[in-house]
Structure 1
Amino acid sequence: MTARRERSGRSRRSRPLSGRSVAVIGGGFGGLSAACYLADAGADVEILEKNEAVGGRASTLEAEGFRFDMGPSWYLMPDVFERFFEYFDRSPDDYYDLQRLNPHYRIFWKDGDRMDVTPDLDQVRAAFEAREAGAAEAFDDYLDKSADNYRRSMDGFVYTDRPNYRDWVDLDVMRAAPVGLQLLRTMDDYVSDFFDNPKLQQVMQYTLVFLGGAPQNTPAIYNMMSHVDFNMGVYYPDGGIGAVVDAFADLAGELGVTITTDAEVSEITRRREGFLVETVAGGEGEGRGKGEGESETRNPDIVVSDADYAHTEQELLPEHERGYSAEYWEDRTYAPSAFLLYLGVEGSVDPLEHHTLVLPTDWDPHFAQIFDEPAWPNDPAYYLCVPSATDDSVAPDGHSNLFALVPIAPGLDDSPEIRERYRDEVLADIADNTGVDLRDRIVFEKQFSVSDFADRYNATAGSALGLAHTLRQTSLFRPPHRSKAVPDLYFTGAFTTPGIGVPMCIVSGEHAANAVVSDHGRQPDATERDAGKSGAAGARRTVAKRLANGPLAGLSGLSGLFR
Structure 2
Amino acid sequence: MNTGKARKRIAVIGSGFSGLSAAAYAAKAGDEVHVFERHSQPGGRARQFTTDEGYVFDMGPSWYWMPDIIEGFFRDFGYKVADFYDLVSLDPQFEMVFSEEKIMVPEKSNDIRELFEKIEPGAAKQYDQFMKSAKYKYEVGMQDFVTKPCYNWFEFASLKIAGSIFQLDLLSNFRKYVSGYFSDLKLRSLMEFPVIFLGAAPQNIPALYSLMNYGGYVLGTKYPMGGFYQLVLAMQKVAEKQGVVFHFNQDVQKLNTEDDRIHSIRIDGKDYEFDAVIASADYHHTETLIPKSLRNYNNTYWESRTFAPSCLIYYLGVKGKIANLKHHTLFFENELDDHIDCIYKHKKWPSRPLFYSCCPSKTDPGVAPESCENLFLLLPLTSGIHDEEAVREKYLVEMLERIEKHTGEADLMSRIEYKKSYCVSDFMADYNAYKGNAYGLSNTLSQTAVLKPKIRNKKIRNLFYTGQLTVPGPGVPPSLISGKIVASEVSKLKIEKNEKIV
Q: Which category describes the TM-score, using the shorter chain as reference length?
A: over 0.9
1:67 to 52, 56, 75: 56
Q: 2:133 aligns with which of 127, 145, 151?
A: 145
Task: Say which is worse superposed, 428-437 or 161-170, in terms of deviation.
Answer: 428-437
Partner of 1:84: 73
1:385 aligns with 2:358: yes
Of the three residues 91, 107, 118, the one matched with 1:102 is: 91
Contact 1:358-1:433 within 8 A present in 2 as well: no
Deviations 1:406-457 (Å, cap 9, x if unpaired)?
0111111001222222222222232234434421211100000000011011
> Which residue in the other structure is 2:445 paired with?
471
Structure 2 counterpart of 1:535: none
Deviation at 1:366, TM superposition (A): 0.4
**Aligned residue type for 2:73:** F
Alpha-carbon deviations, 1:149-178, whole Å to 9, x = none? 111112220234332122222222212212
CA shift in 2, pair 1:323/1:433, >3 Å:
same
Q: Is the Cα contact below 8 Å between 1:153 and 1:176 reproduced in 2?
A: no
Q: Aligned residue for 2:462?
A: 488
2:113 corresponds to 1:125: yes
Superposed, 1:263-282 pairs within 5 Å as: 263-271=250-258, 274-280=262-268
- 2:273 pairs with 1:323: no
Equivalent-residue separation in structure 2 for 1:15 and 1:387 (angstroms): 47
Comparing 392-401 with 427-436, greater Cα deviation is found at: 427-436
For the Cα contact (< 8 Å) 2:148–2:155, is it kept in 1?
Answer: no
CA distance in 1 between partners of 2:457 and 2:361 (Å): 43
Give how far 1:274 is off: 4.1
Counterpart in 2 of 1:241? 228
Cα 1:218/1:436, change in 2 over 3 Å: farther
Q: How far 1:519 moved relative to its partner?
A: 2.7
Aligned amino acid, residue 213 of structure 1: A
Q: Counterpart of 1:94 in structure 2: which amino acid?
A: D
Q: 1:425 aligns with which of 398, 418, 435?
A: 398
User: 1:74 and 1:15, CA in 2 relative to 1: closer, same or farther beyond 3 A?
Assistant: farther
Distance 1:481 1:15, change over 3 A: farther
Counterpart mapping for 1:282-361 below 5 A:
295-313=269-287, 315-360=288-333
CA contact (8 A) 1:45 1:257 kept: yes
In the alignment, the residues of structure 2 paired with residue 459 and residue 207 of structure 1 have an alpha-carbon distance, to the nearest angstrom, of: 23
**In structure 2, distance between residues paired with 1:274 and 1:439:** 52
Does the Cα contact within 8 Å between 1:103 and 1:116 map onto a contact in 2? yes
1:257 pairs with 2:230 = no
1:235 CA drift (Å): 0.7
Letter in 2 for 1:343: L
Q: Does 1:31 align with 2:19?
A: yes
Q: Which amino acid counterpart does residue 118 of structure 1 have in structure 2?
A: P
Distance in structure 1 (CA, Å) of the matches to 2:326 and 2:311: 21
In the alignment, structure 2 segments of 5+ residues that lack a partner are 497-502
C-alpha separation in 1, matches of 2:68 and 2:438: 25
Tell me if 1:206 matches 2:179: no
Give the TM-score of the pair, scaled to structure 1: 0.85
Which amino acid in structure 1 is aligned with residue 470 of structure 2? T
Equivalent residues of 1:60, 1:69 under 8 A apart: yes
Helix, strand or coil for the counterpart of 2:473?
Answer: coil
How far residue 361 of structure 1 moved from its aligned partner, in angstroms, is 5.1
Aligned counterparts, 1:6-21, within 5 A: 10=1, 14=3, 16=5, 18-21=6-9
Matches within 5 A, 1:425-464: 425-437=398-410, 438-464=412-438
Distance 1:58 1:128 in 2: 34
- Say which SS state the counterpart of residue 316 (structure 1) adopts: coil
CA distance in 2, matches of 1:472, 1:421: 36
Indicate if the aligned counterparts of 1:304 and 1:491 stay in contact, CA closer than 8 A.
yes
- Are 2:149 and 2:455, in contact at CA under 8 Å, matched by a contact in 1? no
AA of the residue aligned to 1:389: K
Deviation of 1:81 after TM superposition, in Å, equals 1.5
- AA aligned to 2:3 is S
Secondary structure at the counterpart of residue 519 of structure 1: coil
Give 1:521 shift. 7.7
Do the aligned residues in 2 keep the contact of 1:15 with 1:40 (CA within 8 Å)? no
TM-score normalised by L of structure 2: 0.95
The answer (yes or no) to whether the contact 1:481–1:490 under 8 Å persists in 2 is yes
Letter in 1 for 2:85: Y
- 1:205 offset after TM fit, Å? 1.1
Partner residue of 1:412 out of 382, 385, 405: 385
Q: How far is 1:129 from its partner?
A: 2.1
Q: Tell me, yes or no, if structure 1 residue 187 matches structure 2 residue 165.
A: no
CA distance in 2 between partners of 1:31 and 1:397 (Å) = 36
1-structure distance, mates of 2:376, 2:24: 31
- Per the alignment, do residues 518 and 176 of structure 1 end up closer, same or farther by CA in structure 2, a change over 3 Å counting? farther
The residue type equivalent to 2:453 in the other structure is: P
CA 1:120–1:79 in 2, change beyond 3 Å: closer, same or farther? closer
CA RMSD across the alignment: 1.6
Please name the residue that 2:500 is paired with.
none
Instruction: State the alpha-carbon separation in 1 of the partners of residues 41 and 303 from structure 2.
Output: 30
SS at match of 1:124: helix
Query: Quick one: which amino acid aligns to residue 34 of structure 2?
Result: E
Paired with 1:328 and 1:65, the residues of 2 have a C-alpha distance of: 45
Residue 15 of structure 1: how far off its partner (Å): 5.0
CA distance in structure 2 between the partners assigned to 1:333 and 1:274 by the alignment: 30
Q: Secondary structure at the match of 2:64?
A: coil
Residue 42 (1) aligns with residue 30 (2): yes
> Secondary structure of the equivalent of 1:167?
helix
Q: How many residues get paired?
A: 493
